[in-house]
Structure 1
Amino acid sequence: MGNLDSVANLYRQKYNSDLSLFRSPGRVNIIGEHTDYNLGSVLPGAINKYIYLAIGKRDDDNISIDAADYDDHYSVSLLKLEPAWKMWPNYVLGVISEFQKAGKNLSGVNIVFGGDIPLSAGMSSSAAICSATAFALNKTFNTGYSLLELAKIALVAEHKYLGVNLFGKEGNVVKFNCKTEEYQFIPFDAPDIKIVLFDTGVKHNLIT
């Protein structure tokens, strides 16, 4: 599984150009599993497993994406953006598409991502990829989105491009109403409490 150094090194090996690095955490849902897409309330918190993403501008309109954990590559023209025939590039392409629809001025980019969030284990690895991509594009192209707007872009991108129904702040959990989009950071400083996650090895699939 990837880490920050391996993602950065792979980017430099493939593209030999300047890069910026981002990371987005996985999450555990303390209360409210599967109530998010039914417009209920949830109480998620970030975990210490991440998706790491390296990004750099290109001189053309191509989008070049490498998934370190899959040892796979995908590229497409920004001018002919459409869903990929395989699933994993769509986490990135869906976010880029939402930026385009909003009229944001983008150019081609190189993107490499990987991480240590267990895949298909209910810890939101896909949402972390979408979130990291949204934050990376916002910073790289200075598009001016707020944190909540970026979260919404990641949400819409995963739903539209992948058909997934779903929905941080360090040291806090987040009380979030999925209907009204009201949220509240709740401090979670409980050194005597440990939340232990077990990977059963059973994969799930939210795509219907």
Structure 2
Amino acid sequence: MSKRTTLIISLVALLALVTIFVASRTLAAGDLTPKEARRLIARMAGIQLPSDAVRIKEISSLGNSATVTAQVETAFRFVKGDKDQWRVAEIRTGDRRWEDLDTLMRALNAEKTARARAELESIATALESYRREHGSYIESKSEATLIDHLSPRYLARIIRVDPWHQPYEYEGTRDGFTLRSVGPDGKSNTADDIILPGGSR
């Protein structure tokens, strides 16, 4: 195996619009403090950055979430591959600690998958409430139409896109429905899709 060329670059990365979703058991979004935001960002995706590496620029609330603009100072290790192209291989999370970027991305996608599943379950619960009152599910192949029918009576928070910023998919008949997130790869009908069926489909 040939020796890999390694380049360490220290930089300041501006993380614009870092969205932190606060669970209902924690502080309300309007109560999110810079200290709490800094702590959550420093521990994002299972990594632990030094607290002084995160600087909060702005916090604005949005329903049950808060949008935080933050500046994060850290270092990245770049590796030159077989085709003589650089890629980011690791991120420094402490004075002498480096984390594999692929591992971090898998951890981040696992967190997003759990969030997507929870949001789909919220929509499914709203659909069941709708069916109890109307005698059937919403007949549509449009997630936008679905949410328009459910919000705000059955669904307090409007949920249109998944954690990867792709629209949720819905297909419903009178007797059943299928809810779907296309998952990390952004493609429908692949192995990482998150699917939640309901009724008698």
Pair in the same fold by TM > 0.5: no
Q: Between the two structures, name the one with larger relative contact order (CA 8 Å, sep ≥ 6).
A: 1
TM bin (shorter chain):
under 0.3
> By percentage of residues, which structure has more strand?
2
| Structure with max Cα Rg | 2
